[in-house]
Amino acid sequence: MNPKKDLYKSYDFIMLILMFCLMFISIIAIYSASKSGQYQGSFVVRQSIFYFIGLTVSLLVAKIDLNRIKRINWIIYGTSIVFLIVLMFAPESIARPVNGAKAWFQLPFIGSFQPSEFMKISLLISISALVDKHNKIFKINNVKTDLILLCKILLISLPPSLIVLKQPDTGMTMIFLVIIFSIILCSKIKTSIVLFLISIPTLMISTLLVILTKFPNYFEVRILSLLMPHQRSRIEGWLDPFEHSDAGFQTKQGLLAIGTGQLSGKGYLNGVVYIPEEHTDFIFANIGEEFGFVGGALCIALFFLLLSRIVNISLDALKNANNLFGTLICVGTVSVLAFQIFQNIGMTIGLLPVTGITLPFLSYGGSSLLSNMILIGLTQSVRNSYNGYIFYSLERGEYGKRNIR
C-alpha cells in the first residue's frame, strides 16, 4: 500500500478548499484591521506563516494512524499538563501576564505560545480514548458503570481545568467544559443521567436570569460581587455597554462597526470605527463593517459547511467501522469549533459577554490557529482510518486497514 496514494484517496479536499477560503478572508481582514494603527508588526506576514505551518502540521497529523494516536494519548496528555505546570511557575521574563492572565510563554524567535490551546486537544484525545476503552470493558452499561465513567472523566479533566481557571482564562475553561460535556452526551451514558447533568447548568442559568430580570439590584450587589474584578467588569459591560463605558467599550464599538456596515458594507479598507483587538477577538466586527451582512453571512456559511463535513466524517466513522474513538474525536472537534464561533460572533454583536475567545481560522494568533489545524488533521485521520477498514482484529481488539482498490 502506498501511504501517499492512500492519503490522497481518503483526504477530504472539500474541507481543504474551505480552509483556503477562510485563510484568504483571514489575511485580508487582518491586513485591514492592522491599518488602524493599534499595534506595530507584520500581522499579515505572521498569519501567513502560521497558516503555512498549520496546514503542514494538519496534513502530517492526518497521516498518523488513529490507533497510534489512541495508544499514546497519555503521553500527549502528560506533556500538555507539564507545560501548564511549568507556565504557572515560570518567571515573567518568559511568561509575562497579558491583560491580567498568565497564559502565554513569550519565547525568543518563536513568539507567544499558549499551552492551554494544545491542552484542549490533549483533553479531547484522552477523554475519547478513555470512553472508548471503558465501553469495550463494560459491554452492558448501567448506573454503576456510568458513574464509574463519569468519575474517570472528572479525574483527568479537573487538573487542567483548575490550572487554566487559575491563570485566569475563563474562556478556555469554558472550552474544556464543552469538550467534556459533548463527549459525555455521545458516550452511551444512560439518558436519565445525561438529563440530570443537563438540568444542573440549565437550572443555574434560569435562576440567574430570573434574579437579573426581577431583582437587578440584588444581582449586582450579591451575585456579581462573587466574581473576580475582570469577570465582573465584563458582565457589566455586556449587560449595559453604554452605561459602563470602559468595560463595555469593545462591545459598543463592535455593535457600531457591524451596524454601520449594513447590507453590503463600507468597502474594503474603508472601516473607520476604532475597535480594540480588532485583528484578534473582534475580527468579525471588521468583516461586518467593511463587507456588511453579506460578508458576515458568507463567513458563517463557510463555517457551517466546514462543521457539516466533520459531522459527516463522524457519522461515517461510526457507521462504516463502528469506531467510537474516531466519532468522539469528531464530536469534540465540532463542539469546540461551533462553541468558539457562536461565542465570538455573539460577543461581537453584544449577544454574549466578552470572553477573549478567538474566531477559529480568522482571528490572528499562532497558538489558536495551529491547535485548530491539528483538530482538522485529527478529523482527517479519522476519515483516513475508516476509509480502509474491512476487517476486525480479534487479537489486537481494534480495526485493521487494507488498501481497497
Q: What would the DSSP string read from start to end of 326-392?
A: HHHHHHHHHHHHHHHHHHHHHHHTTSS----PPPTTTSS-HHHHHHHHHHHHHHHHHHHHHTT--EE
d(CA 262, CA 259) in angstroms, rounded, equals 6
19 located within any domain: no
The confidence score (pLDDT) of residue 179 equals: 96
Candidate from 120-124, 149-153, 210-214 with smallest mean pLDDT: 210-214
216 located within any domain: no
Q: Which residue has the higher pLDDT, 204 or 231?
A: 204
Q: How many domains does the chain have?
A: 1
User: Which cell goes with 359?
Assistant: 474566531
The answer, yes or no, to whether residue 401 has pLDDT greater than 80, is: no
Q: How many CB atoms lie within 10 A of CB 323?
A: 24
In sequence order, which residues have a C-beta less than 8 Å from that of residue 299 and are 6 or more positions away? 22, 25, 284, 287, 362
| pTM score of the predicted model | 0.90
Grid cell 492512500 in the structure block, residue: 6
Q: Please, which pLDDT band fits residue 392 given cuts at 50, 70 and 90?
A: very low
Q: Is 98 helix (H, G, I), strand (E, B) or coil?
A: strand
Q: Are 77 and 49 in contact (CB under 8 A)?
A: no
The confidence score (pLDDT) of residue 115 equals: 94
Enter the DSSP assignment of 101.
Answer: B
210 located within any domain: no
| Domain carrying residue 78 | 3-9+26-189+227-400
d(CA 137, CA 131) in angstroms, rounded, equals 10
Sign of CA dihedral 192, 193, 194, 198: positive
219 located within any domain: no
User: Which cell goes with 366?
Assistant: 499562532
21 located within any domain: no
The answer, yes or no, to whether residue 373 has pLDDT greater than 60, is: yes
Q: Please, which pLDDT band fits residue 139 given cuts at 50, 70 and 90?
A: confident
The confidence score (pLDDT) of residue 34 equals: 86
211 located within any domain: no
Mean pLDDT of 286-305: 96
Mean pLDDT of 359-366: 94
User: Which cell goes with 311?
Assistant: 459531522
The answer, yes or no, to whether residue 398 has pLDDT greater than 90, is: no
User: Which cell goes with 383?
Assistant: 476519515
Mean pLDDT of 6-23: 81
208 located within any domain: no
100 located within any domain: yes
Nearest one of 311, 397, 335 to 127, comparing CA atoms = 335
User: Which cell goes with 219?
Assistant: 444581582
d(CA 119, CA 280) in angstroms, rounded, equals 21
Q: Which residue has the higher pLDDT, 76 or 225?
A: 76
* CA 44 centroid distance within chain: 22
User: Which cell goes with 316?
Assistant: 461515517
The confidence score (pLDDT) of residue 75 equals: 95
Please report how many Cα atoms fall inside a 13 Å half-sphere around the Cα of residue 11, on the Cβ side: 18
The answer, yes or no, to whether residue 295 has pLDDT greater than 90, is: yes
**Exposed/middle/buried for residue 100 (C-beta within 10 Å: 0-12, 13-18, 19+):** exposed
The confidence score (pLDDT) of residue 49 equals: 94
Distance separating the N- and C-terminal Cα atoms of the chain? 10
Mean pLDDT of the residues in the chain? 87
* CA 55 centroid distance within chain: 17
Sign of CA dihedral 67, 72, 77, 80: negative
Length in residues, the chain: 405
Q: What is the pLDDT of residues 141-193, one digit of tens each?
A: 889 999 999 999 999 999 999 999 998 888 999 999 999 999 999 988 888 89
The answer, yes or no, to whether residue 106 has pLDDT greater than 90, is: no
What residue type is assigned to position 110 of the chain?
Answer: I
Beta bridge partners of 106: 112
How much is the CA Rg of the chain, to the nearest whole Å? Answer: 22
Sign of CA dihedral 262, 357, 183, 119: positive
The answer, yes or no, to whether residue 10 has pLDDT greater than 80, is: no
